[in-house]
Amino acid sequence: MQNVVIRSIERLDFRTKEAYKTLRTNLSFAGKNVKVISLTSCTPNEGKTSVSFQLCLSLAESGKQTILVDADLRKSVLRGRYKANREKYGLSHYLSGQMELDDVCCRTNVNNFDIIFAGPIPPNPSELLGGDAFKNMLEVLRMKYDYVIVDTPPLGGVIDGAVVGAICDGTVLVVESGAISYKFAQNVKEQLDKVGCRILGCVLNKVNTKKNPYYGKYYGYYYGSYYGYGNSGADEVQDELMLDAGSQTDATASETETAALQQSTEEKGDAK
C-alpha cells in the first residue's frame, strides 16, 4: 500500500461541518448494508469532489474505516486539489490489469481514511468502470472498510456515473443551488433510474445563507446566538471559509446543505 500526504484541506465553518455531520448521519440510517455509495452531479464544478472528500473526512472522524475511490477517470481533480504528493499507481492501473488492488490503495495522513486515485487517463473509461474488475474491487473493499465512497463524473456529459451507480448500494446526487434547472436534475435522475440505481437523496451545495432566508435564518440565528455571536458573527465565520493553500474549490465561500436525505425538522419546529 502506498503512503500519501494530503497537504491542503478546506477549513470549514461550524455550519458547514454540521451539514456534513447531518449527511453522515442520514446515510447511516439508509441501512446497514448501504456501504458502497457513489456521488455524481449534473454538470462539472457543482462541488461533487469536495462533498465526496469532506464526507469521507466526516466518516473517518466518527471512527469509520473509509476509502475514497476516484472513479472520474476522464478529468480527475482530486490529487491536484488537495495537494497530495504524487502516487505511483491509480485506479486505471488496476482496472487495466497492470497492478494489484493493494498496490493502488493509498494510506493518507488522516486516521481511518484511505484513497484510490484515478491514475492516468485511459482510452476506454466507461468499459473499465463497467467491467468485472471494478465490480470485484468494490466487493473486496466492502469487506475491508465500513464505507466506500466513489466519486464519479457528472452525468450531464458522460454515462460513467450511471455505470458506477448501477453496481453501488446507492447514489447521492450533488446539485449546485441556483445553477441547475429542475428539468435538468429530473433528466439526470431518470438516467439513474433506467440503470436501476438506488438514489439515496440529494445534496444541495453552494447555498448562500446570506441571500437565502430559509437556511440563513435557521443557522444564523439559532446557532449564532447559541455559540455567543449574533447574526454579524455568523457572517464572520462564513467569511473565514478558505483553503490552506489559497486556491479555490467547489466548496469555497459556500454552504453545503443536505436536501432530500433529511426531513424538514426546521419546518416542524416552526409549526409547533
Contact 225, 232 (CB under 8 A): no
d(CA 249, CA 19): 17
d(CA 70, CA 62): 22
In this predicted structure, the answer to whether residue 267 has a pLDDT above a threshold of 70 is no
CA distances from 57 to 10, 68, 204 (A): 11, 10, 19
> Which pLDDT belongs to residue 213?
58
In this predicted structure, the answer to whether residue 12 has a pLDDT above a threshold of 90 is no
> Phi and psi (nearest 5°) for 4?
-130, 155
CA distances from 54 to 57, 120, 190 (A): 5, 24, 27
CA distances from 121 to 54, 92, 102, 118 (A): 24, 7, 20, 8
Which amino acid makes up residue 187?
N
Per-residue pLDDT tens over the stretch 165-208: 999 999 999 988 888 788 888 888 888 999 889 999 888 887 77
The string of DSSP letters for 114-171 reads EEE---SPPS-HHHHHTSHHHHHHHHHHHHH-SEEEEE---TTT-SHHHHHHTTSSEE
d(CA 183, CA 203): 17
Per-residue pLDDT tens over the stretch 196-252: 899 998 888 877 766 665 555 555 544 444 444 434 333 333 333 323 333 333 443
Q: What is the 3-state secondary structure (H, E, C) of 94-113?
A: HHCCCCCHHHHCEECCCCCE
Per-residue pLDDT tens over the stretch 45-71: 888 898 999 999 999 999 999 999 999
**Highest mean pLDDT (candidates 14-18, 145-149, 171-175, 240-244):** 145-149
> Which pLDDT belongs to residue 7?
79
The length of the chain, given as a count of residues = 272
